């Protein structure tokens, strides 16, 4: 891992404006995401976690401060950014394979043989080969999210943004899919927004705890637990990490 961040928020402040006035969601927010690092953002509802992802994706511009990718300010959506949302947003008239290729087809008319082979490898890794020609309506919720993951990874992103990607799933599917996602994102810089403390600890290399709006970082925790999420949850140290982070969150929820 190099000393230079892949993605950086430098003293970022951000406000939303509507008929009721101005709402500050981020204030002097600074964060570094290193190459290959998996970071989870935890904080009270509405504190600005998803806003941070939108800034990283180039969908918003900060009122002050800078968001940079490899030292260059993000002024538009980066080409090699994967963004996975709470809902899968699959196109119902396209098959799983066609949805998986959509991000690439937005950029180019024809896919190369290598790109097609890469999609097939991702489908196999996510246990979707058998359903590659099925339509979203024929899939379970977990399978739809796996298809969304394949679409996210098919563009071979430099970094991935995850905005509560498992929140709509049942507990069993959520746990199983967290293992699959972590496996596929191994080595890929990732920023995860979640309200689930256990999910953050089980998936991330580092957990960043935010204050109430306007969000600032109040604590950071390096997570030194081995293995994939399900294995991590069985580690005796998991409960210690959970209790420590939960107490910090509880203070800022009040």
Domain 1-78+159-172+189-254: which topology? Rossmann fold (3.40.50)
Using DSSP's 3-state secondary structure scheme, residue 95 falls into coil
Residue 225, Cβ density class (10 Å: 0-12 exposed, 13-18 middle, ≥19 buried): middle
Angle formed by the axes of helices 171-184 and 141-154, nearest 10°: 20
pLDDT number for residue 145: 86
- Name residue, tokens 């950029």: 107
> Tokens 């979203």 appear where?
136
What are the tens digits of pLDDT across the range 195-224? Answer: 999 999 999 999 999 988 888 898 999 999
The parts of the chain modelled with pLDDT lower than 50 are none
The DSSP symbol for 136 reads: G
Q: For the range 102-108, what are the long-range contacts, defined as Cβ-Cβ under 8 Å and sequence gap of 24 or more?
A: 102/151, 103/151, 103/152, 103/154, 103/155, 104/154, 104/155, 107/79, 107/155
For residue 46, the model assigns a pLDDT of 83
- Measured between alpha carbons, how far apart are the two ends of the chain, in Å? 38
What's the pTM? 0.88
User: Residues of CATH 3.40.50.300 domain(s) within the chain?
Assistant: 1-78+159-172+189-254
Q: Indicate the SS3 state at residue 13.
A: strand
């Amino acid at each position: 891992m190099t000393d230079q961040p892949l993605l950086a928020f430098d003293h970022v402040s951000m406000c939303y404006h509507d008929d009721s006035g101005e709402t500050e969601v981020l204030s002097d927010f600074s964060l570094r995401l290193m190459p290959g690092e998996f970071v989870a953002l935890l904080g009270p509802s509405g504190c600005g976690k998803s806003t941070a992802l939108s800034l990283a994706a180039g969908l918003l511009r900060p009122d002050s401060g800078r968001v940079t990718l490899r030292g260059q300010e993000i002024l538009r959506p980066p080409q090699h950014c994967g963004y996975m949302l709470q809902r899968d947003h699959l196109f119902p008239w396209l098959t799983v394979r066609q949805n998986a290729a959509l991000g690439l087809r937005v950029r180019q008319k024809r896919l190369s043989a290598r790109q097609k082979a890469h999609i097939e490898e991702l489908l196999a890794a996510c246990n979707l080969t058998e359903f590659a020609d099925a339509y979203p309506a024929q899939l379970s919720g977990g399978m739809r999210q796996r298809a969304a993951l394949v679409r996210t990874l098919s563009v071979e992103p430099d970094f991935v943004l995850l905005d509560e990607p498992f929140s709509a799933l049942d507990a069993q599917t959520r746990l199983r899919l967290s293992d699959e996602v972590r496996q596929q994102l191994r080595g890929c810089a990732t920023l995860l927004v979640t309200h689930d403390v256990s999910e953050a600890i089980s998936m991330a290399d580092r957990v960043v705890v935010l204050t109430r709006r306007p969000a600032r970082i109040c604590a950071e925790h390096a997570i030194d637990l081995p293995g994939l999420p399900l294995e991590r949850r069985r580690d005796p140290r998991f409960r210690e990490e959970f209790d420590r982070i939960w107490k910090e969150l509880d203070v800022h929820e009040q």
